[in-house]
Amino acid sequence: MKIDLDHVIGTARSWLAQDPDPETRDELAAAIDAAADGSGPAVQALAARFGGRLQFGTAGLRAELGYGPLRMNRVVVTQAAAGLARFLIDTGRSRSVVIGYDGRVNSDVFARDSAEVMRGLGLEVTLLPGALPTPVLAFAVRHLDVGAGVMVTASHNPPRDNGYKVYLGQDDDGSQIVPPVDGEIADAIDAVAAGAITDLPRGTDYTVASSELLDAYVAATAATVAPPALGPEAQPKVVYTAMHGVGWETARAVFAAAGFAEPAVVPEQIEPDGAFPTVSFPNPEEPGAMDLAIARGVAVGADLVIANDPDADRLALAIPDGSGALRRLSGNEVGWLLGWRAAARASEAGTTGTLAASIVSSPALARVAARHGLEYRDTLTGFKWVSRVPGLLFGYEEALGYLVDPEVVRDKDGISAALSLLSLASDLAAAGSSIAGQLDAFAAEFGAFASGQVATRVDDLSRIGEIMASLRSTPPTSLGGLGVLTVTDYVDGVEGFPPSDILRYDLTGDARVIVRPSGTEPKVKVYIDTVAETPADAQRLVDALASSVRPLVS
């Protein structure tokens, strides 16, 4: 397609005129000069940056830092802040917002821009007092009873990314946005983007929250567990890593307030650092991300290694494997343990309610709920759905997200989940057991479950549609030697679910395979779940199913 050079350069110059950031201004000015000289690659590169704009959705915004409407920068963030403010005003919601930010590059700048623009448009604005975990922001939305919350974070994305996550308060109870609200906010942002951000009023008389807000989160989170069953010297030995994120100071305060001994830390990763120098991808799920933490755990003889992701809304756990090494538990294994604990506590208290997990998480939690006389609910992927389940007692998703007390935070919270695991490990140690022993007990009680994943990354996004279309036109009749009993296609909506690009295969032997495009990466993802008499048998089934489905999604 032929590029209209004059139009591209004109659009780029209009953007340059309103960009307040010297770094992105210099980059864009250089790109305009290069394109104006008629260089083909320079023209194409500039046109690519202005060939659309970031789409605001249920995950808000998330992209690499850089100039132009398809990157995260001060212009895009200011437009988003003004659009959200106008949405709150136009829909008659509370004209109040709380804004938080993590330790990534420009998170503090984006947060202050948002505060000034929203205040300039007449909102009551509270800015958190420093770089803090996402769960603290989610807590603040409810604690301050505001209309909305904004968290500037890219969570566990690559180092050069940043993002913008939105929560709604009051009737939405501090949960992340869901349709159709995301579309309404996106429309408001587009209306703002039709003008220049230099025309937006700004105000600097916003409120910076005091330390009392963080103290309230610490106290509320510490109160979610009973005092430890063992004294500090007898408690399980723990290693903690913040993975260059903002979790440590808040986690340390929570652990201390609840009566738990301070963990040993991974010193190279304990302070916030937006460059993430020791990891190529700051996601505890990624190979190698927990290597330093596990090495530290082996060195000190740890019973638990706990890792938060950079904004501390996710948690990963490693435990001794019996051979002197440590193994990382899957998100499902941690979810089983925390869900079982929540169900047992509900039974002891005579409490009714619901356990919930995303549809791609293990079906084991449904068996726990049935055994304890509780309701169970599958949701679409994402905590924006899990957190909205009525009567929720506990919810999780296999991607390391856990909601252990909906009365404190209506979102995944890696700090409260870490505290719950410390409490569980202490109780087990007092009874002469361990996390590993509890996993064995779970298998004996509910069956030996195992899970696995297959993912295909694509260079051409159209390939994702082709893979899903092929599976629909020629559905498999068997996978991994197991017969396909039913195929459920969510594309037109299934009871309790909106239309979604998901295929589910229920197999003989209570096995299950789910296929869906990733919501954040250019991938097709396959989720495999099995149950058998022993963990080894269940894992063999997972491996066989993985081998069977891999050619279907490649």
Structure confidence by residue, pLDDT tens digits, 94-153: 999 999 999 999 999 999 999 999 999 999 999 999 999 999 999 999 999 999 999 999
- Candidates 1.10.150.240, 2.40.10.120, 3.40.120.10, 1.10.645.10; CATH matching 54-209: 3.40.120.10
Extract the tokens encoding 205.
Answer: 């008389």
Q: Which of 1.10.1040.50, 1.20.58.100, 3.30.310.50, 3.40.50.1110 is the CATH number of 448-553?
A: 3.30.310.50
- CA 281, CA 277: separation in Å to the nearest integer? 10
Domain-by-domain residue ranges, the chain?
1-51, 54-209, 210-445, 448-553
Q: Annotated catalytic residue: which of 96, 107, 155, 362?
A: 155
Q: Backbone phi, then psi, for 59, in 5-degree steps?
A: -95, 10
> What pTM does this model have?
0.95
Query: What is the pLDDT confidence band of residue 471, given thresholds at 50, 70 and 90?
Result: very high
Residue 351 φ then ψ, to 5°: -95, 140
The length of the chain, given as a count of residues? 554
Longest dimension (CA), the chain: 75
Residue 462 designated active-site: no
Task: Name the DSSP letter for residue 197.
Answer: G
Amino acid at 232: P
Q: Are strands 482-489 and 503-507 parallel, antiparallel or unpaired?
A: antiparallel
Do 54-209 and 210-445 show the same overall fold?
A: yes
Instruction: Answer yes or no: is pLDDT of 494 > 90.
Output: no
Asked if pLDDT for residue 39 goes beyond 90, the answer is no
* Rg value, the chain, Cα: 24
pLDDT of residue 320: 97
> pLDDT tens, 359-381?
999 999 999 999 999 999 999 98
pLDDT computed for residue 509 by the predictor: 93
Whether 66 shows a pLDDT value over 70: the answer reads yes
Residues pairing with 149 in the sheet: 98, 167
Predicted pLDDT of residue 19: 97
Q: Which CATH fold would you assign to the domain 210-445?
A: Alpha-D-Glucose-1,6-Bisphosphate; Chain A, domain 3 (3.40.120)
CB burial readout 361-383, b (16+ within 10 A) else e:
bbbbbbbbbeebebbbbbbbbbb
Q: What is the pLDDT of residues 317-338, one digit of tens each?
A: 999 998 999 999 999 999 999 9
Inter-residue contact 147 to 97 (CB < 8 Å): yes
